[in-house]
Structure 1
């Protein structure tokens, strides 16, 4: 769950496990919640005075998505970018209507078919921002070819943090 930094808003990082929550703190989240140990719905409601999160970034799906619908603000947006939990949830559209929030999907792979220029433009801008030091991708591991199978197993199990890259 993430609240935008604009207008003095707070960033609430919801992560799974002590290692991931520590990284969220190090990266500057104002409030960090371990979704495996705490009820992030209650924390979001408390931190926002009952208003809820304006933006939820959800790469997990499943129960995390269902809980996000309970703490999304009026006219909020839930950005669905994946289903790392392996559980693809169904959205209760009556709930989205009653709370007046949007569910926005982002399937990056479709851009290769539909708008490949957007991929090139995005890559160029991200490269520029990284070169300028404005953003710093979190690369937690650099793997050799021999380490790739184990790295993929840990990635699938949700045991990695940040990006794991293969160096040929």
Structure 2
């Protein structure tokens, strides 16, 4: 522990996020460290912090999702997507997931999606036929965002979480105006820097939900530290579900 670090004890299980932490040892500011949930083993705890914080802030802080609303989640079988599906279901939303394969559809369904649509099919038409989405959670960008602007309902909210597709889509202000929808950005790390109090509050609530067993990270594989580079490539190739966890010392 460094000078002034008093919140934790040596040997205590914690979770943290910072640059350069895929290593055997890392120095992390105390404000970025949180107690690991007792209900989660080490692999699940490692997969927990960023994914569930991102989903929580996107759905609750930014979109202010309400029970009974329809939530459309892109990449619904991914690490953040499964978290969004679980938290959306806990909030009482009707969750619709969009995924790239039947195998991923099963993962999204197990995470709380009431309906799952395939990306290669007419998911836009299906969502529109159901009345449109009240909230869209989009970590993909590109065509997913463009389609979401068509599928979002009256006074809907599109939460821009990332650009996993590699494409940053243009935002048409005129289209948002005539359809009365909002486009909301989410950069969770900025909350970590500017509102650590909100991050701590969210972690406490998420830890409670984990203890109740209503949320749990989907860990598809634990990867030995020596294979970390290959794990990153697997993520880039888009064939993974949930989280890959790199096990230091394994």
Question: Normalized against structure 1, the TM-score is what?
Answer: 0.88
Q: Which has the larger radius of gyration?
A: 2
Q: Deviations over 1:117-152 (max 9, x none)?
A: 222222232223212212111121212101211111
> Which aligned pairs between 1:113-132 and structure 2 lie closer than 5 A?
113-132=193-212
What does residue 118 of structure 2 align with? Answer: 34
What does residue 108 of structure 1 align with? Answer: 188
Change (3 A) 1:28 1:81: same
- In the alignment, which of 110, 114, 136 is matched to residue 56 of structure 1? 136
Please identify runs of 4+ aligned residues in structure 1 that moved more than 4 A: 2-9
Q: Which runs of 5+ in 2 are unaligned?
A: 1-71, 74-84
Give, in angstroms, the shift of residue 81 of structure 1: 0.7
Counterpart Cα distance in 2 of 1:119 and 1:29: 26
Counterpart Cα distance in 2 of 1:68 and 1:123: 29
> Which aligned pairs between 1:25-104 and structure 2 lie closer than 5 A?
25-35=109-119, 37-46=120-129, 48=130, 51-104=131-184
Question: Normalized against structure 2, the TM-score is what?
Answer: 0.60
Q: Say yes or no: does 1:136 pair with 2:216.
A: yes
Q: Which runs of 5+ in 1 are unaligned?
A: none
- In the alignment, which of 103, 109, 134 is matched to residue 19 of structure 1? 103
Give, in angstroms, the shift of residue 109 of structure 1: 1.2
8 Å contact kept, 1:18–1:34: yes
What does residue 150 of structure 1 align with? Answer: 230
Counterpart Cα distance in 2 of 1:158 and 1:79: 21
* Count of residues in Structure 1 that have an aligned counterpart in Structure 2: 164
Counterpart Cα distance in 2 of 1:9 and 1:120: 24
Counterpart Cα distance in 2 of 1:159 and 1:6: 27
